[in-house]
Amino acid sequence: MKIGLFTDCHYCKAEYLGPTRRPSLSMNKIREAMDEFKSKNVDMVFCLGDLTDHDESSTKEEIIGCFREAMRLICSYDIPFYLVPGNHDYLVMTADDMEREAGFKAPPYTVEAGAYKFIVLDANYRSNMVRFDTAGVDWTDANLPPHQVEFLRTELNNTTMQCVVLVHENLDPCVDKMHIIKNAEQIREIIKGSHRVALVIQGHYHKGMEGVIDNIPYITLPAMCEGEGNSFRILEL
C-alpha cells in the first residue's frame, strides 16, 4: 500500500514567518502534493501537524478560515485523510473547533488499512497533562499523557498486525532536544518491547531527520513551509 505524507504547512496569509517560513505558499504546495498523491493512487494521506498558523494581525475568524480552506482542499481529493495535530494547530483553535469546522478527529485512535494498523497520537500536552488548547501552547513542553501511553501499549499488545505510530512532536532522540517529547524514552521502550512497530513518523523538527532506532525506522518529515521548494513524500509499505 502507499501512503502520502506532508507536515508543517503553517498555512496562513503571511508572506513570511521568521526568516525562512513561507506560509502563504503552502496552499499551492498542498495542492501539488495532493495532485501527486492522487495520480500515484495513494491509499491514505496523513498531515503530521501544524497545518495552519497565523501572525499578529490575524483574527480568530481568519485563522479558522485558513484551516477550513486547507481542509476543504485536502478533502476534495476524496482520499482518506488524517490530521495528526501539531502545537500550532492548538494555538487558537480547540480540538472542538477543528472538529466542528472540518471533521478533525482528536487522537488517540487507530486506523487499519492493508496489513497495517496506524496509531495516531497527540503529544500536545503540558507537563501537567492538560492539552495545549486548554493549558496554552509551549512547544518545548510536549508530553504524551498517561491515557495515551496506555492506549499505545494496549493497541500494540492486542494486535498481530504491523503498526505505524504517528505523532507530531519527536520520539527520535537525535533531533534538537527542545523538539523531543518529554517522556519519549518511555514511549520508545514500549515501541521496542512490542515487536509490532514497523515505522514511526513525526513532524515538528523542520529540518527533518531519519534514523533507525532499535531496528525501527524513525522518520521526521521536513516541513512543507520552509522556503519556496515543496516537501512531501509517498511511502510504499
CB 135 within 8 A of CB 128: yes
Minimum separation from the CB atom of position 196 to Fe ion (A)? 29
Minimum separation from the CB atom of position 21 to Fe ion (A)? 8
Show the CA angle centred on residue 42, arms to residues 39 and 44, nearest 5°: 135
- Residue from 8, 122, 155, 169 that binds Fe ion (CB under 5 A)? 8
Angstrom distance (rounded) from CA 211 to CA 190 = 18
Residue 50 as a binder of Fe ion (CB under 5 A): the answer is: yes
Place of cell 516541513: 223
Region binding Fe ion by CB under 5 A among candidate stretches 43-51, 62-70, 150-158, 169-177: 43-51
What string of DSSP letters covers 23-77?
GGGHHHHHHHHHHHHHHTT-SEEEE-S--B---TT--HHHHHHHHHHHHHHHHTT
Residues touching Fe ion, count (CB under 5 A): 2
Whichever of 8 and 155 has its CB closer to Fe ion, that residue is 8
Region binding Fe ion by CB under 5 A among candidate stretches 2-10, 20-28, 90-98, 135-143: 2-10
User: What's the maximum distance between 2 C-alpha atoms anywhere in the chain?
Assistant: 50
Minimum separation from the CB atom of position 86 to Fe ion (A)? 6
Residue 169 as a binder of Fe ion (CB under 5 A): the answer is: no
Residues that bind Fe ion (CB under 5 A): 8, 50
